[in-house]
Chain A
């Protein structure tokens, strides 16, 4: 045990005495969270603050009832939305000519549904909600999604019979279930694009820390330090355990930085307790650290290791939907996204930190991340070479 702590201390000294590495480790999350925070708060704006930007929303009510009223009220409650109730033909014509950027059609059958406390809802029934959104306003879909499902929850008191159809009939995941205790789903709470973006940024920093942190093991192998350690009685697993423990510690520090700046600087919602958030950070770290280690087993030099990591991280960054909700992208990209691990960590993070409804279901997120961790660990153990 003593040897383990000595090794741990030595490793920490090794990492933190490298000034470049240390500052990068601190600055990286700071830069990202501030950069994205500034960019997105100027387009979306924090909840409840009128920053002068208005988006036109046309609501078409094909029937009158509790539902349409709740939804309209919810949209009107968001300062950034200028809500108009219109006929379908008018609204669609304006949308076609580009006058209106967002049209939401509430079908009459929505109101036929039994109201709250009546539990006789047909679980298999799905009602399509056609939504027309101009591509340059796609980020609004995040809010639309949240408001519609929030209103539905308020009226029905239980999950989802709505299916949002965006242009090309994109199906919303049925697995998406609202977790109890997420107060943020109430209609009228407004939307906050920050709540979408920043948890994704945290997921991204965890991914980068995991992937690029593992380069260190590669460097230790190339410089034959691993081999030298292998010639001592130190159990090899102990060395790896120490490395992983340090990565986990670093992940927590970066998560704290992102959440702190996000919350106090940009109004990031904190919907869950710290322990729950920490659990997700831990899982994300486990998945991407083991993935990083797995990739290092395919690299012979530090240069080739870096190249692999760069490629992987770029692909994941842009194909994971951390910058844009999945619903809003073309169908084939959505299919690709479903195979990108970061997609699920970002989804889980949005749920864990900001209390957003999960897009794929918490169980799916957990299963994917755990699956990746186990798969990568097994592959790493099988392929790992000390020299």
Chain B
């Protein structure tokens, strides 16, 4: 597999704070690579260093074999970028905006084709300022796509989208992969990383805490199932920790999570416990571990609080 992005021992400090703390990873051609982590974990900083708009303090970065800090133009003409929270010219129409950005690249996609891809055909002649947050978000993803770059960089591409629009955009991103493009994205949506990414780097406080395909990460950290109790009566109940089949009890803000390799035994034990406590067990759910659980297990916190 050809490596298109290579990051080695990357460090970026803001004052005393290490926003990016010795990151190393590489991305192969044609894969969808995701950085998953909470806000402020260092995802965007890493992202901006890789696309050549932010200087690093130390470490090596190569994009398509070129150092983006030393030869930014050589990199920028071969990639497409969507930036988090970046607006576009308010008074231009959707179509004018894409035409403008298409003009910056040597070999752009046709404007109308890109508009269709992000489902903005009906809105293409209205001004950006009149469009909803979701539509603007799709426009900014379209700006990355129209570059026809070899790597498409998306920083939190689905933030602000409703669930349907989010799924539609996932479709467009998978299509990019089918066209042979590499996609590098950041997200704090566990589901997005799990459904979309071939490989995920879970990042926290500027460090990679786990790296691999979503399934690899889940099976590496969990042979267990999660049983989530929503009932407030059982919150912080010490006897939960005495259940023999439960390996771990995690108290979160609004629920209690029991980890178990043997779900049947746990449910039996739990129902016996609630009987002795005089509580009716009626509000719980069973869930297979996901990337959120991996993050929780590795950091003790949830991605989205």
Which residues does chain A contribute within 8 Å of B83, judged by CB atoms? 224, 227-228, 231
Q: Is B99 in contact with A232, judged by CB distance below 8 angstroms?
A: no
Which of A13-21, A57-65, A340-348, A355-363 binds B? A13-21
- Using a CB–CB cutoff of 8 Å, the interface residues on chain A facing chain B are 2-3, 6-7, 10-11, 13-15, 17-18, 223-225, 227-228, 230-235, 386-387
| CB of B105 to closest CB in A, whole Å | 6
Q: Which of B52, B76, B96, B106 contacts A10 (CB 8 A)?
A: B96
What's the Cα separation between A387 and B87 when bound, in Å?
A: 13
Interface residues of A, dominant DSSP? helix
Q: Which residues of chain B are near A233, meaning CB under 8 Å?
A: 73, 76-77, 104-106
Expressed in whole angstroms, the Cα–Cα distance for A11 and B92 within the complex equals 9
Residue pair A13, B51 in contact (C-beta under 8 Å): no
Which residues of A lie under 8 Å from residue B143 when comparing CB positions? Answer: 228
- List 13 A-B pairs, Cβ < 8 Å: A2-B103, A7-B100, A10-B89, A11-B89, A13-B89, A14-B91, A15-B91, A18-B91, A227-B83, A231-B53, A232-B76, A235-B73, A386-B53
Contact at A227–B100, with CB atoms within 8 Å?
Answer: no
Tell me the bound Cα distance from A121 to B92 in angstroms.
Answer: 67
Chain A neighbourhood of B105, CB < 8 A: 232-233
Instruction: Answer whether A231 and B51 are a contact pair too, CB < 8 Å, given A223-B86, A224-B86, A225-B89.
Output: yes
Chain A residues whose CB sits within 8 angstroms of the CB of B301 once the complex forms: none
**Number of residues on chain B facing chain A (CB within 8 A):** 28
Q: Which residues of B contact A234 (CB under 8 A)?
A: 104
CA distance A7 to B103 in the complex (A): 9
User: Which residues of B (126-146) have their CB < 8 Å from a CB of A?
Assistant: 127, 140, 143
B116 on the A face (CB < 8 A): no
Question: CB distance A232 to B96 under 8 Å?
Answer: no
Which 8 A-B residue pairs are closest in the complex by CB-CB distance? A224-B86, A17-B91, A233-B77, A231-B81, A223-B87, A228-B86, A232-B104, A6-B103
- Determine if B99 and A13 form an interchain contact, defined as CB atoms under 8 angstroms apart: no
A232 and B81 in contact, given A2-B103, A14-B91, A17-B91 (Cβ under 8 angstroms)? yes
Shortest CB-to-CB span from A106 to chain B, Å, is: 63
Q: Answer yes or no: B90 CB below 8 A from chain A CBs.
A: yes
Q: Does B26 contact A (CB under 8 A)?
A: no
* Cα distance A346–B83 in the bound complex, in angstroms: 44
Q: Which residues of B contact A225 (CB under 8 A)?
A: 86-89
- Which chain B residues numbered 74 to 133 have a C-beta less than 8 Å away from chain A? 76-77, 81, 83, 85-92, 96, 99-101, 103-106, 127
Task: Closest B residue to A17 by CB, please name it.
Answer: B91
Please name all residues of chain A whose beta carbon is closer than 8 Å to the beta carbon of B88 when the two chains form the complex: 225, 228
Contact in complex: A10, B92 (CB < 8 Å): yes
Known: A225-B86, A231-B83. 19 other contacts (CB 8 A): A2-B103, A6-B99, A6-B100, A7-B103, A10-B92, A11-B89, A13-B89, A18-B91, A223-B86, A224-B83, A224-B85, A227-B53, A227-B83, A228-B86, A228-B88, A232-B76, A232-B101, A233-B106, A387-B53
A231 near B52 with CB under 8 A, answer yes
Q: Give the CA-CA distance A311 to B294 in the complex, in Å.
A: 55
Task: List residues of chain A with CB within 8 A of the CB of B53.
Answer: 227, 230-231, 386-387
CB distance from A19 to the nearest CB of B (A): 10
Smallest CB gap from A4: residue in B: B103
